[in-house]
Amino acid sequence: MTALLLVFLAAAPDAGTPQTLPELRRLAKQLEPDIASPWVKQWLVNVNELKPVTPSTWFCSKDKKTCGEKNPGDFTERTIDDDFVYARISDPLGYARAFELIAETGFTPAGKKVLDFGYGNLGQLLMLAPLGVEAHGLEIDPLLPIAGKKVSPKKGRVVLHHGYFASDEQLVKEVGGGYDLWLSKNTLKRGYVHPAEPKDAKAQIDLGLDDAKFLSLVFSELRPGGLFVIYNIAAPKPGPYKPMADGRSPFSKEALTAAGFEVVSFDADDSPKAKVMAAKLEWATDWPDVQETLVATITIARRPTR
């Protein structure tokens, strides 16, 4: 989310987040001329389908594993509102470039089943659903599924899963399979999964399986012809190694191939067009050197049809 949007939110704390949706709509309209794919254009237009959320207060454990309406004594107070539902953590409109590149493979969303791994906020999922998508989101924050019950798309379906994938076997069963698109945006980064420094660094995202088993699981959850996509935006700079700035694929091309995938592209550079998107979404407001430091990469692997 842009700093401009944050300023609006801070200006009216008692009124929920009245500027969240207007800002998203304004920025979506600003970005639309740079979008080529008809269905991605329509996805942007679907920001107008998002409805205001009546703010509500919840209490969550410090480990964020449990949330409820009452405070047992040591839980943290949290609020579900427009900002939390539609723009928590990141800008949902930032999915536009990933979707554009996915569209270039020939992917069309109508009637498809999509999984967003580490979805962060509901905005992009609720914009996908009206395209006829069964949109699944996977996250560890238990307040997100609660928030999801407050909003529902007019068309399509949004299903939210909570927990640690893939160490939780029950969650793996719940997520199921039959996906046409298995997408990770800014979650499966090498810096998060296999940090390069220091040598004994622990992963910030523990997938619960080694690479071969994890990729085999993703492969099994895709339909023949389905896509596994990793799209990351990062800002690598000189100086100490920062895991979040290492946006390369955490899995090698060889590992993807060994799992049975056809590798369509591997860590392909999308920085120039991602910078155009960043300009239209006004990210420079709180990322001043975005045009100098932004690096975007995409890896696309397909499960063969045979």
Find, among 115, 261, 260, the residue nearest to 177 by Cα.
Answer: 115
Give the model confidence (pLDDT) of 133-185 as tens digits: 999 999 999 999 999 998 988 888 999 999 999 999 999 999 999 999 999 99
Residues 137-148, buried b or exposed e (16+ Cβ, 10 A)?
bbbebbbbbbbb
Average pLDDT over the chain, rounded to an integer: 92
pTM of the shown model: 0.93
Q: What is the mean pLDDT of residues 206-215?
A: 96
Question: What's the length of the chain?
Answer: 306
Amino acid of residue 109: P
How distant, in Å, are the alpha carbons of 248, 263, 264 from that of 230?
Answer: 9, 12, 12
Structural domains in the chain?
3-302 (3.40.50.150)
Q: Which pairing describes strands 179-185 and 222-234: parallel, antiparallel, or unpaired?
A: parallel
Q: Phi first, then psi: what are they for 180, rounded to 5°? A: -95, -25
Q: CA torsion 187→193→195→200, rounded to 10°?
A: 150
